Structure formats: C-alpha cells, structure tokens
C-alpha cells in the first residue's frame, strides 16, 4: 500500500451522522479513506459513500473555471445548458462583476422582494452564515431558505411549538441506553447507516426492544420486537391511539406532566376519539399491536423516538411530529440520557445551515426576524443602519419558486442546491426556473438547476476548504483543507466575500471591514457573538477537543450531549390536541397505488455528487419497488419496464418486485434525472411548515415497452458492500 504524504482528519460530506474520516493523500491525490476508531460518532465505521464515494471531486465533468452563458436568456425563454459549448470561460473578476451588476440592477429596480437565495446544507456553517448575511444586510430580504424546507421543516416547527427547540434532544449513540425505542418514517440502514449499526447493537448486544412504524418493511424490521405497518399518511391516528391507551390505562407520568407541561387537559380530551379500533380502521395496523406498543413505550425506564423524513414530508407533517412529541411529554421520556425526541437530519450540515439562519423566518440562532429586538441586535453586529433590516418573514423554498414572475421574485442565487431534482411537481418547477430574470449557480457540477443559470461560479469540495459542519447530534466538527482547489475553483466563503464587497460598493454602502476575513475561523468568531449557543466554540477548542455539542455557552462549557434536563426553552412543554386529516391525494380506481419517495444507500439526494462517483455503478438506474401481490395483479415481473403515472406526469423505469414494500405502496428513489420521482409528486404544502408532500402521491403502473429504457444499464444483481 502507498505511504501517504499526509493524513488529514475531516468529516464526511454526505449524511447528517457526521462521521469522522481520514483522507490519505499522495501527491495531492486522495487515494484512500479510513475512519478513526476513537471517534465518538462512528467508531471506525464508514458507509459505502463515505469510504468509496468521495472520488466525485476528480470527475472530468467538474467545473473549475467561472462560466457565462454565450447567449443571454430572457424570462420565459430560459433553457437548460449542459453542453459546455453554450458557455464561455471568464475570469473571476468578469464573472463576479457581472453578478454584482445584475443583482444590484434588479434590486434597485424592483426592491428586496425581487431577490431570493437558496443556501446549502452541504456547505459549511461559515459559508451559510455569510450567504444569508449578504442577502439580509445588503439586499434587505428574508427570502432565504435551504433544503430543510424539503425535509425536516415540519419537525422544526412542531418542536418549536411544543418545546421551543428544533434539534435532536439526545445523542444518537445513546440508543444503546434505550430500553425501548420507536423508529418511524426512517430507513437508517440506507439513510443513516452508522446510526443503524448502533441501533442493531442496542437490540442484539444490550437487549433494547425496537418498535418499527413504517409503510415499508425496511431492514430494521428484522430487529424489531413489534412492527406496525401503517398506511402512508396515517401517523397521527396510530401515535394518538398509543396516547389514548396510555391515558386510559393510567400509564402516563403524572409528576412530569404537572411539573413540566401545559395544556394537558385539552390534549387528553382530543385523544378520546383515537381509540385503537378507529386507528386500525384508518391505518390498517391491528389494534393489538397499537396497544402493545403503547404499553411497551410507556413502561420503559428509558425510551426514545427516532424519526426521519417519513414523518415531516407530508401535508400534515407538523401534526405527525406533534403526535410523537405528545407521547414523549405524556410519559416523561425526555430530558434524560437514553430518552428523547430525535429527528435524524438528512444532509451533512442541514442542522448547521439552520443554526446559521439559512431560513426565511429566523436570523442565526433561531432568532425571529419579525421581533424588533432581534433585528436591532443583528443591525448592530452587521453595521446596518437602525431600521435597515427587513422585519417581514421571507418566502420559503417552495414559495420562492411559486413567486417567480414580474411582480415577485426575479433574481435567484443557488449555492449547492438542486431544486430541479428536489422540488415537488418538477414540471411546475421547470416552468418557474425558465421565468427567472437572472439566475446564479455556485456549485461543483452543472446539475439540472445550474444548467438554467446565467453565471456558473465554481466552488470547491469539502476536501479543499476549512470550516465546520454541525451533525444531527448538534455536534460541531472541523472540516479541514486536505488538498489544493482544483483549477480556479474557490471556497464558497471566499466567493461570497469577494462578491459582497462588489455589491456594497455598487450600492454605496460602507461595510467592507465586515467582509474582510482571512480564514473561516474569523467568521466563527462573528457567529459566536451573535449566536449564544455557539458562544464557546472556537477552532482552537475544536482542534484540541474534537466535536462540541451545542449549546456551548462559553469557552469553559463542555457542550450538551442531551437537552432539557431541567426545563424547556419555552418554559413548559406544551401538549397539542390533534385531529386526523387525510392525505391531499387518496387512492382511487384511476390511481390505486400510493407512491413514496426517498433515498437509497449508494446515492445522495439529487445525485450531484454520487452520480459522478464510482458508487453510481452499484445502483446505476432508477427502480420502482412494488409488492409481489400488486405486481402479479398488474402482470409485472421483476426487471420489466413499467410506466408510473400520476396526475402530473409519467416516468418509465424498471420494476423491482419485493416484499420490502407493502401492498398498495410503491417506492421510487429521487436521485435519478432519467426518471425523476419528483415529476410525479404534488406541491400541496403543510400549512404551518410549508413543506411539500413527498410520501403520498397516488399513481398507477402499467407495463412499458423495453425500448423505452434504451440507453440504461442492464439490471444487475443487487448486492451490498
């Protein structure tokens, strides 16, 4: 084996687990990836993406010089340009001057409501902090959001409503201290593989009892004491029926409820209607399983709930999450080690991007933009004149694109996101992208969204810059530059500082000292001054002590492995009465199947990274999972070409007949532009969180002609590494 020139410790750029990794480098080439055994996060383990999927940064399609469109684009006529012949290479000065000129022109002509930005859950805390600061301080808009709106927004809203927080209450590794844990709306073996290893160990080695509640028979069912196979969208009846049983049998924690909660009586009254019999009729889960699950969770010494996108990605996602929070408050399984409410975050820095204020309703630290004292505080920190910051809540990710037009959003800046793969109802998204007056993409590759841009700004990968990520445990960890940037690509924070100085000069504002950072450590110093929960985080501490779990109130504070030991941020935890609301679309004769979307082990989100990696060979094409009973009824065999049709679009892909999905439910991963699952999903939103419904669109499936799959790889044996 080669002897490395150096080994650089950093953090994995894929999911929210935040695995520590070591990059082995020879001649500035990363030739091997390992994991430290002393890591408290992953204990020497990495999934297939972390160990083998980082080669995307060397892919020949990576863009390493700034690009401008050769042909100017007009609103309504904007098209996608993947071919490099449609672009011309320019200097950084020309590219950034052009961006600054156009953004300032649109801002002056149409005001702050015409401006919008997508921050990035894969970029560092420092990158996201600067981008939201640029748009708020210079363009005076709160039209700032990122992909949390498309994943855990409903979890965030529900947690804020009930307890005043928005992150995991406990550390994922504490699962081994659970007597009982509920896993719902989550497929950790594919989406959070290292946490799945810890969950398996909790069951096999430490004797924990696992309750899986999911419309699919995921691998974790093999480790479960109970499996509740609910129909998509019936979470509230199932978890409220568990609460009903706990109330009726007197299994609730009276002392905890009296001392630490409010609104119990109204909540308890609303649970009367959710009998196990009613829940069975709605959800399909046998009543005896609901009763047994309720007793098991309520009588445990330490019990916890873990969930992912199957809970919030719904038109009633906030209610789904509240139904879980109600259970924890009812039993007192929160505020101690080995308990808690634990939404497993998706991307590597979605927690950090949210902490940094990459959202339309909050400044960094979840400080509401419509509270006067918060606005004044940030005006002082950013040297903005009194009253200069916008006090109105901005548009969310989904609302930004819907608002595109002459009287709404005209200019959009996208850093590292790919709405043309992640938004629902992609035909509508495509139309809105074409109507933009000006679009900037800052990324590694020209993806489906960047192809619409007027300007492409080449950013560096995580391995080519310094910064911090905050993982799903609220653990802030150092990302370290391991190799030089490829070509002329630049770190996101450097691009943004250079651009901000040009914009403020053109606007005639004097804030230059606030964009002169020589290293991301200086940006973190500014973050510390504005975000109390990050007050004790410095690069020196992170280098010396490893990760620190927020809140870290000062430089002597050790960090916080679990939250709410004595109180909740809002004071008392609040119970919320709930009602059952059916899905926005329900199966019928024309569309008899329910489509759920999600991720697979080998790929990540829109595929910008993994579709440019060797791991793409392990899962090279889109597949639709269908239960054998449904397949037999439709005359479909494993490997057949099929057409999946919703009320919005059709896609053609290959069928995978499997009992992993239950009758009446089909599953399609959303990583593949060849058959983009989100062409089929609809854009109905949760009214509180503004999150779309990705888990319950109705579809029909028919056989397609094999030639409609022309150019796609032949089906391969489905092994795992």
- Average pLDDT for residues 65-83, to the nearest whole number? 92
Percent helix, strand, coil in the chain, to 5, is: 35, 20, 45
- For strand 641-645 and strand 362-363, is the pairing parallel, antiparallel, or unpaired? unpaired
- What is the predicted pLDDT for the residue at 436? 96
Q: Spell out the domain ranges in the chain.
A: 6-58, 67-151+349-549, 153-343, 593-709
- What is the predicted pLDDT for the residue at 717? 44
267 within 8 A of 326, measured Cβ to Cβ: yes
Q: How confident is the model at residue 719 (pLDDT cuts 50, 70, 90)?
A: very low
Instruction: Check residues 88 and 424 and name the one with the higher pLDDT.
Output: 88
List Cβ neighbours of 337 (8 Å cut-off, separation of 6 or more): 170, 174, 177, 302, 561, 562
CATH of 593-709, picked from 2.60.120.200, 2.40.40.20, 1.10.620.20, 3.40.50.200, is 2.40.40.20
CA–CA distance, 15 with 189 (Å, rounded to integer): 12
Q: Is 266 exposed, middle or buried (0-12, 13-18, 19+ CB in 10 A)?
A: exposed
Q: How confident is the model at residue 720 (pLDDT cuts 50, 70, 90)?
A: very low
Tell me how crowded residue 571 is: count the other CB atoms within 10 A of its CB.
Answer: 11
Q: Facing residues of 367 across strands?
A: 363
> What mean pLDDT value characterizes the chain?
93
CA–CA distance, 658 with 656 (Å, rounded to integer): 6
- What is the predicted pLDDT for the residue at 512? 57
CA–CA distance, 639 with 657 (Å, rounded to integer): 8
Structure tokens belonging to residue 95: 């590219």
Q: How confident is the model at residue 428 (pLDDT cuts 50, 70, 90)?
A: confident
Q: How confident is the model at residue 513 (pLDDT cuts 50, 70, 90)?
A: low
What's the DSSP call for residue 452? Answer: G
CA distances from 426 to 467, 486, 513 (A): 33, 32, 42
CA–CA distance, 445 with 57 (Å, rounded to integer): 10
- What is the predicted pLDDT for the residue at 348? 86
- Average pLDDT for residues 3-32, to the nearest whole number? 94
Res 520 pLDDT > 90 = yes
- What is the predicted pLDDT for the residue at 150? 63
- What is the predicted pLDDT for the residue at 695? 83
- What is the predicted pLDDT for the residue at 711? 67
- Average pLDDT for residues 677-705, to the nearest whole number? 88
- What is the predicted pLDDT for the residue at 182? 98
Res 716 pLDDT > 80 = no
Pure H helices in 90-218 = 92-110, 125-137, 153-162, 188-191, 193-204
In tens, the pLDDT along 141-183 reads 999 998 776 667 788 889 999 999 888 999 999 999 999 999 9
Least Cα distance to 423 among 114, 166, 684 occurs for 684
- What is the predicted pLDDT for the residue at 165? 87
List Cβ neighbours of 457 (8 Å cut-off, separation of 6 or more): 66, 95, 96, 99, 440, 441, 442, 443, 490, 495
- What is the predicted pLDDT for the residue at 663? 93
Structure tokens belonging to residue 655: 């069928």
153-343: CATH topology is Dimethylsulfoxide Reductase; domain 2 (3.40.228)
- What is the predicted pLDDT for the residue at 511? 62
CATH annotation of 67-151+349-549: 3.40.50.740
6-58: CATH topology is N-terminal domain of TfIIb (2.20.25)
In tens, the pLDDT along 237-266 reads 999 999 999 999 999 999 999 999 999 999
In tens, the pLDDT along 307-340 reads 998 898 888 989 999 999 999 999 999 999 999 9
Answer whether the bond into residue 551 is a cis peptide, omega within 30°.
Answer: yes
155 within 8 A of 161, measured Cβ to Cβ: no
- What is the predicted pLDDT for the residue at 712? 66
In tens, the pLDDT along 183-236 reads 999 999 999 999 999 999 999 999 999 999 999 999 999 999 999 999 999 999
Structure tokens belonging to residue 2: 């080669």
């Amino acid at each position: 084996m080669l002897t490395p020139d150096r080994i650089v410790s950093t953090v994995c750029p894929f999911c929210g687990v935040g695995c520590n990794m070591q990059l082995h480098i020879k001649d500035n080439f990363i030739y091997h990836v390992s994991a430290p055994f002393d890591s408290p996060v992953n204990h020497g383990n990495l999934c297939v993406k972390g160990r083998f999927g980082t080669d995307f940064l060397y892919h020949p399609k990576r863009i390493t010089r700034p690009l401008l469109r050769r042909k100017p684009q007009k609103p309504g006529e904007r098209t996608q340009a993947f071919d490099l012949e449609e672009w011309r290479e320019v200097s950084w000065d020309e590219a950034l001057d052009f961006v600054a000129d156009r953004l300032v022109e649109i801002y002056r002509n149409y005001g702050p409501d015409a401006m919008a930005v997508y921050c990035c859950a894969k970029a560092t805390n420092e990158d996201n902090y600067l981008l939201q600061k640029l748009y708020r301080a210079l363009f005076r808009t709160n039209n700032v959001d990122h992909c949390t709106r498309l994943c855990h927004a409903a979890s965030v809203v529900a947690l804020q409503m009930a307890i005043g927080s928005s992150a995991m209450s406990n550390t994922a590794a504490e699962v081994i201290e659970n007597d009982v844990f509920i896993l719902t709306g989550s497929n950790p073996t594919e989406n959070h593989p290292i946490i799945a290893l810890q969950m398996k160990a909790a069951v096999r080695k430490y004797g924990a009892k696992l309750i899986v509640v999911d419309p699919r028979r995921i691998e974790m069912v093999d480790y479960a004491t109970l499996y509740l196979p609910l129909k998509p969208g019936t979470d509230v009846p199932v978890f409220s029926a568990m609460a009903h049983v706990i109330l009726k049998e007197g299994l609730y924690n009276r002392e905890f409820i009296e001392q630490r909660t409010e609104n119990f009586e109204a909540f308890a009254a609303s649970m009367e209607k959710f009998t196990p019999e009613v829940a069975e009729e709605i959800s399909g889960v046998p009543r005896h399983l609901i009763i047994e699950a309720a007793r098991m969770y309520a009588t445990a010494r330490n019990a916890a709930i873990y969930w992912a996108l199957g809970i919030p990605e719904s038109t009633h996602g906030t209610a789904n999450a509240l139904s879980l929070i109600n259970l924890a408050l009812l039993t007192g399984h929160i505020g101690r080690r080995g308990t808690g409410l634990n939404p497993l975050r998706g991307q590597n820095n979605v927690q950090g991007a949210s902490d940094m204020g990459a959202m339309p309703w909050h400044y960094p630290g979840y400080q509401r933009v419509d509270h006067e004292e918060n606005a004044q505080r940030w005006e002082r920190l950013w040297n903005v004149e009194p009253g200069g910051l916008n006090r109105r809540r901005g548009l969310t990710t989904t609302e930004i694109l819907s608002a595109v037009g002459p009287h709404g959003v005209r200019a959009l800046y996208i850093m590292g996101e790919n709405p043309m793969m992640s938004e629902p109802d992609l035909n509508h998204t495509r139309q809105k992208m074409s109507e933009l007056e000006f679009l900037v993409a800052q990324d590694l590759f020209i993806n489906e969204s960047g192809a619409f841009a007027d300007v492409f700004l080449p950013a560096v990968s995580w391995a080519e810059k310094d910064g911090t990520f905050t993982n799903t445990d609220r653990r802030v960890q150092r990302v370290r530059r391991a190799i030089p940037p490829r070509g002329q690509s630049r770190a996101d924070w450097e691009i943004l500082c250079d651009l901000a100085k040009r914009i403020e000069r053109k606007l005639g504002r004097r804030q230059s000292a606030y964009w002169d950072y020589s290293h991301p450590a200086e940006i973190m110093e500014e973050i510390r001054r504005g975000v109390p929960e990050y007050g004790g985080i410095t690069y020196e501490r992170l280098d010396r002590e490893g990760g620190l779990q927020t809140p870290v109130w000062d430089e002597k504070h050790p960090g916080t492995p679990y939250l709410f030991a004595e109180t909740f941020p809002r004071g008392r935890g609040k119970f919320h009465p709930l009602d059952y609301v059916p899905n926005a679309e329900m199966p019928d004769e024309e569309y008899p199947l329910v489509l759920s979307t999600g991720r697979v082990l080998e790929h990540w989100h829109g595929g910008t990274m993994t579709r440019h990696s060797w791991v793409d060979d392990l899962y090279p094409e889109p597949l639709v999972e269908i239960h054998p009973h449904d397949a037999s009824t439709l005359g479909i065999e494993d490997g057949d070409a099929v057409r999946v049709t919703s009320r919005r679009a059709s896609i053609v892909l290959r069928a995978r007949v499997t009992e992993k999905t239950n009758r009446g439910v089909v599953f399609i991963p959303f990583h593949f532009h060849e058959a983009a699952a989100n062409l089929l999903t609809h854009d109905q939103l949760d009214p509180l969180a503004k999150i779309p419904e990705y888990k319950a669109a109705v579809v029909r499936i028919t056989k397609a002609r094999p030639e409609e799959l022309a150019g796609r790889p032949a089906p391969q044996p489905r092994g795992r590494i």
